[in-house]
Amino acid sequence: MNFSKCICILFFFLLGIIGVSQNSTPKIDSLKIELKTSIQTFEKAKNYGSIAWEYLNIDLEQTELYIDSSLALYESIKHKKGISNSYYRYGVLYRKMGDYDKAISSFKVIEAYAQMIKDTSTLADCAYQKGVIYGNKGDYQKSLEAYYQSLELYKLLQNIKSQALVLNSVGIVQKNLKNYPKAIEIYEEAVSIYKASNNLRGLSDTYGNLGNIYAIKNDFDKAIKYFERSLQVDKKLKNNWGIAINNMDMGKLYLKQNKYNQAIKLLEKALLIQTKYNFKKELTETLIGLGEANRLKQNYKKSSFYLDKALSQNMESKSINQSIYFQLFLLNQDQKNYIRALESYKIYTNLKDSIYQEKKIKSINDLQIKYESKVKDEEIASQKLGLNLKENLILKKQNQLRLALFGSIVFLISSIGIWMFYRQKQKLKNKEIEALNTQKELNKLEALIDGEENERKRIAQDLHDGINGDLSVIKYKITSIKQDKFIQKEKEEFNMAIDMLDTAIEQVRRISQNLVPPSLQNFNLIEALKQFTYKISTTNTKTKINFQYYGEYLKLNKEVETAIYRIIQELITNITKHSQATEALLQINNHEKNMHITVEDNGIGFSTSKGFKGLGLKNIESRVAFLNADFLIDTNPNGTTITIDINTNNLKDD
């Protein structure tokens, strides 16, 4: 140890003394001045709180006093945030004081409040504090849960400083779980954060923690190195709690190495600070260490003094008491005071048993809890089973429903199918009936037309063969009369009679030809129409009729030809009678099995709505129906065009 180092240590030592003696820091001083100058209640309350916070690592009694003042002021002005902050400080204070239940309930109050106002920052802080408390209580699982919860929240808030703090604490838990490499890793992460942000208090804590780990790993050199780093930072910060702890830790470390003098020196330093500032828990630990160290130095009086003082601290912690009584037992044994040794040992074993019992009860409780949770699991499982059964039932029902639905759809479809089938059948039947009716109608028409034609034929025959024959014979008879003895007047009368006979014969012939066109009977439609149009043209001076015929002649049966002839006859008769036309055109075109007939005139036209009815439409209508032809009239004052399309495929053969 060289001189400069010595000076340095001395300097820090002196600094520590000054800090301890003043029981204050520059920050606290300035805050106190601020407090005196502040007028508003809120500002006062805030200053009390800040001072309390600064005292936390210096003097817990002072801390409690300042928090009390702060809370009273906040309550007087009903400042909720301030009240909440005060409770938070109480929580931390109770934690430091080792009163974990009080601490937890404080934090729960704050948490509920923070949740209500959605104060994430406070929630994170509370989670962290809870982590610390659960860790101290040895409930590492809960502790880690709390820590990680707070870590999440701090990350959300992007609060790096607090993240490092949490990491530190997680390291402690990992250490307690004997997961040392993990703990070191986490601490180093924290150290880098603290260095980057120049957070000395954090750095001090983390160094201390690292020292503890290496101490446990029996890596004394490294452990001492870290404790000293921590101590230096704490001295800079005037962190009495930290200074004491580091001294204590280092003392314990030397004790382990049987370096009693060094150990006692360090522990006494710690003792001085801890006594002054009432760091009860750590004080007891230091006292136990001093007890042990002095015992091992065979300085029994001192050892006894320290151990008695440790007992007088009245720590609730059984494990602390257990180690006190263990040391007392060892001390008495060394002093050969066996009765007292036995007493101490008895207490020690009782405590040990009690701890064991507690642990056992705890484990039984755990088991109980586990069992209960198992039962619950089973219950859940059985409920699930029930649910599954129900689900199956539902599924089954659904399936049944689906089946039913499917069935009904099939039924519906088939019903529709059957219905459509029957409808189709019915339609076909109806069509058949219709066709039959049409056929019947056609047959009726045909019979009618036939009857008419036959009647015509009979009359024509009678006229032609009967009357005309007779008239001819009469003519022959008359012309056979010898005219030699006739006077002129008689000759004239005779010739007139002959002429009249000829006229009569001609008229009868015309009538009979109209009734039954002989060309149609003996030849064909085209021949008959030629004769007909010629006759009209020659007998009717008003209207000239032109007949045009194109295409191969279609062989049709006489009934059909007659029907067509009658239609044309009727149309042309109408033209000559009513249209006042000077020209008319009859045109027939044959294409394959289709016959197109056009009858056109340049007359005055007629009204299709009524006029035509009187023009023998009935005769035409029945024959058009019989022929199943398309009949179209286009009439206007400049003339009339009538077209008739006949598909001869549809007509019955000869």
Binds other proteins by CB under 8 A, chosen from 530, 558, 580, 647: 530
Residue whose tokens read 């020292």: 211
Would you state the torsion angle of the CA atoms of residues 504, 508, 510, 513, taken in this order, to the nearest 10 degrees?
-160
Candidates 423, 508, 493; CA nearest to 462 is 508
Q: Kindly state whether residue 506 participates in binding other proteins, applying the rule CB under 8 A.
A: yes
Candidates 58, 52, 60, 51; CA nearest to 19 is 58
CA 478 to chain centre: 118
Minimum Å gap between C-beta 598 and other proteins is: 5
Would you state the torsion angle of the CA atoms of residues 166, 169, 175, 180, taken in this order, to the nearest 10 degrees?
30
Candidates 295, 275, 285, 344; CA nearest to 317 is 285
x-or-dash string of contact with other proteins, 412-451, rule CB under 8 A: ----------------------------------------
- Determine the interface stretch with other proteins among 95-103, 387-395, 418-426, 637-645 (rule: CB under 8 A): 637-645
CB atoms within 10 A of CB 358: 13
Provide the strand spans (E) within 19-178: none
* Cβ neighbours for 481, distance < 8 A, ≥ 6 positions apart: 494
Pairwise CA distance, residues 525 & 595, whole Å: 12
Provide the strand spans (E) within 512-606: 544-550, 583-591, 594-601
Q: Kindly state whether residue 486 participates in binding other proteins, applying the rule CB under 8 A.
A: no
- 467 by Cβ neighbours in 10 Å (0-12 / 13-18 / 19+) ranks as middle
Minimum Å gap between C-beta 430 and other proteins is: 27
Pairing label, strands 583-591, 544-550: parallel
Contacts (CB under 8 A) with other proteins, residues 563-622:
585, 587, 589, 591, 594, 596, 598, 600
Q: Kindly state whether residue 468 participates in binding other proteins, applying the rule CB under 8 A.
A: yes
Q: Kindly state whether residue 457 participates in binding other proteins, applying the rule CB under 8 A.
A: no
Give the angle 296-300-305 at the CA atoms, nearest 5°: 115
Instruction: Answer whether 57's CB lies under 8 Å from 241's CB.
Output: yes
Binds other proteins by CB under 8 A, chosen from 151, 505, 567, 571: 505
Q: Kindly state whether residue 464 participates in binding other proteins, applying the rule CB under 8 A.
A: yes
Binds other proteins by CB under 8 A, chosen from 415, 472, 582, 608: 472
Q: Kindly state whether residue 639 participates in binding other proteins, applying the rule CB under 8 A.
A: yes
User: By CB under 8 A, how many residues form the interface with other proteins?
Assistant: 50
Q: Kindly state whether residue 498 participates in binding other proteins, applying the rule CB under 8 A.
A: yes
Contacts (CB under 8 A) with other proteins, residues 212-241:
none
Q: Kindly state whether residue 654 participates in binding other proteins, applying the rule CB under 8 A.
A: no
User: Is the Cβ of residue 29 or residue 502 nearer to other proteins in the bound state?
Assistant: 502
- Determine the interface stretch with other proteins among 89-97, 246-254, 393-401, 466-474 (rule: CB under 8 A): 466-474
Binds other proteins by CB under 8 A, chosen from 431, 632, 652, 654: 632
Pairwise CA distance, residues 51 & 49, whole Å: 5
Q: Kindly state whether residue 473 participates in binding other proteins, applying the rule CB under 8 A.
A: yes
Binds other proteins by CB under 8 A, chosen from 23, 519, 619, 647: 519
- Determine the interface stretch with other proteins among 10-18, 234-242, 323-331, 524-532 (rule: CB under 8 A): 524-532
Pairwise CA distance, residues 206 & 188, whole Å: 8
Candidates 118, 112, 62; CA nearest to 87 is 112
Q: Kindly state whether residue 470 participates in binding other proteins, applying the rule CB under 8 A.
A: yes
The residues binding other proteins (CB under 8 A) are 464-465, 468-473, 475-477, 479-480, 498, 501-502, 505-506, 509, 512-513, 517-519, 522-523, 527-528, 530-531, 534, 538, 546, 548, 550-551, 585, 587, 589, 591, 594, 596, 598, 600, 632, 634, 639, 641, 643, 645
